[in-house]
Amino acid sequence: MNIPPPAQIDVHDRYGVNAASAGQSDGSLQTTSARVQTSFAALRQLIQSPHLEFLMEAHNGLSARIVEEAGFRGIWASGLTISTSLGLRDSNEASWTQVLEILEYMTDATRLPILVDGDTGHGNFNNVRRFVRKLCERGVAGICVEDKLFPKTNSFVGERQPLAEIDEFCGRIKAGKDSQTDDDFVFVARVEALISGRGMEEALRRAEAYHAAGADAILIHSKQRTASEVLSFAKEWAGRSPLIIVPTKYYATPTDQFREAKISTVIWANHLLRAAVSAMKQAATNIGVNETLVQIEDRIVPVDELFRLSGNDELDAAERRYLPAKAIPQAIVLAATRGEILELTEDRPKCLLDVRGVPLLSRLVSTLQDAGLSKIAVVRGYRKNSIDDPRIVTIDNDRYDQTDEVFSLACARSHLMGETVVMYGDVLFRRYILDAVLNCDADIVVAVDGLSGPMHSITRDRDYVAGDLPYIATDLDDSFVSLKHIHSGLPHSQITGEWIGLVRFSAIGARWLCEELDRVEDEGLLEEADMPLLLSRMAKYRSVRVLYFASDWVDVNTLVDLADARNFV
């Protein structure tokens, strides 16, 4: 396809601000009109170009953006493909207001000019003039109206469809031209005489009348397998106004023949939707038969491509420009101990145990980073030099074999500034658990497995939780559950779950945590205190919220736990 360079069309994001300008620091924005040719002028220039031009079909915002990225200079908003994409027939079953809504998404998605397939104008002259005004309001650059009766039937369905009276259709053209609010708006009159079997003379008579009534271009339509009658019409028309064709049926005609015939514009009228239907049918059949995505995943675009096409990068840039900077939460991972699986930790700390080829700590760090936590501090102790992941900073607790968890946390006190997540280095959990904890508006929130209670098999000491409401009660409403106590020796009647080794502190909560560390140290308990004791102390005079989850995590303390972790991932 030989596409000349764009005619001064500057393609921007859907809001008129490109990603680069969204990052400007001076706060100034040029107006779109000062730097971008209007879509109306762009379509008029394309239709009147001395070169053969091309319009590619699109039927929604996504396909419009794909057309733009493919290098086309204009879009054909096809009535057939818009209707079909809605599951409707191309018989005016989609109302003109529904079409307008789709066109609005398309104009938001691209700065390319759009020529809309207006069918018969959705009624008489009155419908045409209202539709044209609404198109202009939305920046749709032109309309093509066919000289048939409302409601229309697709031109390729049936034979000898009735046509409008010439004078009546000329009235639709005049009404449309009188109603346009931009001088460059393009009105294309589509001649159906050849399609309906009326012959060349009738086609030329109608085209001349429509040209005299003010049509900016003529679209001559044909359903013959060859382009002979279209090329004959072009010869007789002799360039009296721009001539547009739709070679859906005579697709095998070499494009150079259209150039030689001085055709203005070729419309590829329905091919993106047809390609999409073919691909969707193949994918659906493959997945349905094989009951797996394995054979199809590498044949389709990745999900990230959908994010790119929908403009996520522009939104990120706009957020940086318009939203106040938000402090990024940080994480502190307590990973100083050797652990209880002595036979596997002779040469490495527990946090580096292999879980299907990836160290436990590495998996945890990846989960944290995926949730947006880029500042991750790991408190290390046993075999500390083996912990050297480039994504983390390390803090040493060289008294790891004489102290407990709170002492390790105190080693990281200088990092307790702003929102902070504290967790054990021997746990794995699903990402949604971390997201929920981060999104909670409490100043201190602990993640609790509500299904782990007194009936759980006792293979080790567990950090049992007593909340003021059990897990089952929170299924019915959004009750705020407060922490009362965390201890491995809680009476069964008090247990409402098990702490999964994850707690989040807001900026205020982190300040409270530092104050509590000071009190623990003043009382001489810093070396022996564990995290359940620390959180239980804070719960006595601070509000500590419990968020319940239904499993979806694993704590690695024994060989059985390690096997569970390997199954978990």
Query: For the chain, how far is it from start to end, CA to CA, in angstroms?
Result: 49
The answer to whether residue 90 is catalytic is yes
Whose CA is closest to 539, among 488, 483, 498, 492?
Answer: 483
Closest by CA to 43, choosing from 157, 133, 135, 122, is: 135
Amino acid letter, 274: R
510-523 as b/e: b if 16+ CB within 10 A: bebbeebbeebbee
DSSP β-ladder status, 427-429 and 553-555: antiparallel
- List all residues 6 or more positions away from 314 whose beta carbon is below 8 Å from its beta carbon: 13, 14, 15, 17, 18, 19, 22
Going by C-alpha positions, the residue among 411, 441, 408 that lies closest to residue 507 is: 441
Q: Are 131 and 70 in contact (CB under 8 A)?
A: no
Residue in 10, 26, 90, 426 annotated catalytic:
90
- In the 8-state DSSP scheme, what is residue 494? G
- Tell me the C-alpha distance between 304 and 360, whole Å: 27
Q: Give DSSP secondary structure letters for 46-95.
A: HHT-SS-EEEEEE-SHHHHHHHHHTT-S-EEE-HHHHHHHTT--TTT-S-
The residues assigned a catalytic role are: 90
